[in-house]
């Protein structure tokens, strides 16, 4: 009987890591295996070479797949390799390969491992070697993963650096003071109701960083958890490999507070392509139907009545005119604008540390680095190392970063100077401002600010602070509608909580004074010593007095409906201050407190007030 021909396919594979570690090249493998085939009497059909490819799977090795195809076409009946790990390091892949070898009467021979699958003992030995190879892979993988986890947790992040960050000398990811303000602005614009496309258009018009901005760039920034300090691994793999991302929390200093990032995620639904509308709706996606509670849709009339804007519930067929909503909302919006102005102009310096503003020395060092970089590219251009267009583009980016840093440095110096103010001094400044603003009467001056805003500005302001508004039909109220519920966004509540922590928050509450409605400011409960500091800061205001109610001693939960005390004819109530003992906790609602009444010398004869029933 004629002996069967032994036709071999030589398979060689090496990665850069293998070659560096074990020192054998593709050429050396090929030479040794050809000598082996000559010794064993194998006829070499072809050499299959996968260069720089891992052995973790067989699917992504093109030459290996070509060799298997030739085996199936009966062009070869022996596969010859230098070592078994050149073929595979996966037990699963090995089982599949042995099944294929048996099906097509083909044998595997590995020179260094003395492998030959033509016998049962040989196949068993192959399986044992592969188990050990896979164990080695898993151990190395675990070590690599452990090292990577430690690096990420210490701020050494893999991959390119996101806008707003840079690498320091130790390759650690830190805030880049030159570009971090751009990131902050993106989140701020998004919270104002701007879409990804609108923000990218604004940046293109202003030529920010001398680059072409797309809506996808803005979307990636808004979705990136790194800006609140968290690193998300495998995020992109989830889209096509169904791999769950791994979140490492608080690995870098955040550029924006966590609540801002979360607020922006909630804003996505509201911001769905609003730029396609042909008119601006002040309360876009904010009004709830008074019957079913669903968000009402925007509706504009046509023809001669085009100027009228409505909000409509498709289910209940309820309609509310925008001008009526705005009228019913104006008292609230006046207070919101006043709060926004006072927070930004008076209180913000007190929270400079909480906002994690980059310190002055870092900004100054970055200015020095950019200035040196600017000199280097100038020299490179003069030596004709770079072209004029490239020189201009690089210079423009550097100058823009320097401009941003200079503004940031000025802001830091201003905050540092203003941050020397105590909470009591800031509270006194606020109340002084209110006294001289129409004698502290009401918030009408802020309503004037609202009235001169464009519809776009109004929509942005509402979108910034308001989550939802609920009205009901009531003929007793102007235009037949009454505001019954207002839900504020976390951006507002976070700011309000910041003030409460320092004892600076206060609310405007309606009372009845001698049978007439009056609105008084009631402050957060303040300790006795802080009230003295506050009055000391107010001493420059002529006629300021503090009265301690002689009989009032109640907890927050049991304030009486009617309070009576005597005032002089020329005095007017400025605000009410609940005063607690220095040892008590202001947040404890059961604590007893005295009632302080701050007055100014404005002619009035009122001496009794009670809280209005809602």
Could you report how far apart the first and last alpha carbons of the chain are, in Å?
109
Q: Note whether 75 and 68 are within 8 A (CB).
A: no
In 39-57, which positions are buried (b, 16+ CB within 10 angstroms) versus exposed (e)?
A: eeebebbbbbbbeebebee
Torsion, CA 282, CA 285, CA 289, CA 293, rounded to 10: -150
Give me the catalytic one of 15, 54, 508, 606: 15
Could you tell me which residues come within 8 angstroms of residue 314 by beta carbon, excluding any fewer than 6 positions away?
A: 297
SS3 content of the chain, % helix, strand, coil (to 5): 50, 20, 35
Q: Note whether 9 and 78 are within 8 A (CB).
A: yes
Residue 170 DSSP code: T
Indicate if the alpha-carbon torsion angle 544, 550, 554, 558 is positive or negative: negative
> For residue 231, what is the enclosing H or E element?
strand 231-233
- Is there a catalytic annotation at residue 523? no
What backbone torsions phi and psi does residue 393 show, to the nearest 5 degrees? -65, -45
Q: What is the rounded distance in angstroms from the CA atom of residue 381 to the CA atom of residue 376?
A: 9
Q: Is 268 exposed, middle or buried (0-12, 13-18, 19+ CB in 10 A)?
A: middle
- Name residue 196's beta-bridge partners: none
Active-site annotation, residues? 15
């Amino acid at each position: 009987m004629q002996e069967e021909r032994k036709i071999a396919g030589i398979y060689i594979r090496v990665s850069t890591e293998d070659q560096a570690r074990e020192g054998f090249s593709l050429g050396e493998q090929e030479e040794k295996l050809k000598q082996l085939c000559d010794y064993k009497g194998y006829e070499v059909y072809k050499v299959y070479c996968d260069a720089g490819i891992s052995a973790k799977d067989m699917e992504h090795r093109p030459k290996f797949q070509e060799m298997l195809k030739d085996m199936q076409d009966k062009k070869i009946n022996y596969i010859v390799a230098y070592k078994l790990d050149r073929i595979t390091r996966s037990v699963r892949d090995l089982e599949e390969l042995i099944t294929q070898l048996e099906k097509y009467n083909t044998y595997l021979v590995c020179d260094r491992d003395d492998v030959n699958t033509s016998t049962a003992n040989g196949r068993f030995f192959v399986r044992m070697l592969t188990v050990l190879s896979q164990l080695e892979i898993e151990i190395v993988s675990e070590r690599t993963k452990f090292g990577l986890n430690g690096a990420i947790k210490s701020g050494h992040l893999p991959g390119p650096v996101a806008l707003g960050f840079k690498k320091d000398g130790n390759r650690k990811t830190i805030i880049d003071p030159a570009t971090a303000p751009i990131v902050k602005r993106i989140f701020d614009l998004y919270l104002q109701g701007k879409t990804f496309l609108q923000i990218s258009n604004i940046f293109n018009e202003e030529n920010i960083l001398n680059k072409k901005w797309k809506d996808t760039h803005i979307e990636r920034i808004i979705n990136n958890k790194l800006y609140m300090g968290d690193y998300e691994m495998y995020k992109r793999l989830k889209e096509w490999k169904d791999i769950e991302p791994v979140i490492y929390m608080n690995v870098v200093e955040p550029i924006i507070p966590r609540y801002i990032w979360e607020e922006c995620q909630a804003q996505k639904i509201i911001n769905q392509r609003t730029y396609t509308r042909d008119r601006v709706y002040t309360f876009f996606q904010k009004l709830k139907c008074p019957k079913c509670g669903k968000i009402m849709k925007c509706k504009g009339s046509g023809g001669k009545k085009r100027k009228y804007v409505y909000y409509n519930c498709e289910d209940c067929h309820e309609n509310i005119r925008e001008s009526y909503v705005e009228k019913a909302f104006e008292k609230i919006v006046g207070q919101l604008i006043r709060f926004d102005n006072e927070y930004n102009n008076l209180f913000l310096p007190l929270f400079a540390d909480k906002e994690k503003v980059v310190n002055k020395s870092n900004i100054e060092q970055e200015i020095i680095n950019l200035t040196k970089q600017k000199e280097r590219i100038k020299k490179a251009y003069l030596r004709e190392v770079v072209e004029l267009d490239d020189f201009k583009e690089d210079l423009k980016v550097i100058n823009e970063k320097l401009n941003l840093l200079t503004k940031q440095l000025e802001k830091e110096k201003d905050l540092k100077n203003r941050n020397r103010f105590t909470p009591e001094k800031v509270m006194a400044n606020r109340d002084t401002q209110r006294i001289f603003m129409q004698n502290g009467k009401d918030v009408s001056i802020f309503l004037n600010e609202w009235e001169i805003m464009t519809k776009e500005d109004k929509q942005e302001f509402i979108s910034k602070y308001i989550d939802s508004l609920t009205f009901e039909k009531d003929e007793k109220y102007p235009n037949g509608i009454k505001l019954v519920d207002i839900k504020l966004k976390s951006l507002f509540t976070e700011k309000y909580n910041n003030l409460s922590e320092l004892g600076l928050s206060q609310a405007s509450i309606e009372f009845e004074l001698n049978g007439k409605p009056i609105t008084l400011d009631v402050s957060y409960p303040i300790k006795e010593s802080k009230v003295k500091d506050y009055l000391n800061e107010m001493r420059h205001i002529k006629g300021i007095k503090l009265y301690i109610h002689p009989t009032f001693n109640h907890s927050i939960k049991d304030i009486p409906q009617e309070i009576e005390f005597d005032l002089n004819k020329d005095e007017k109530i400025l605000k009410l201050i609940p005063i607690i003992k220095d040892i008590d906790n202001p947040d404890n609602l059961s604590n007893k407190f005295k009632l302080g009444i701050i007055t100014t010398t404005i002619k009035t004869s009122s001496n009794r007030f009670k809280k209005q029933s809602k």
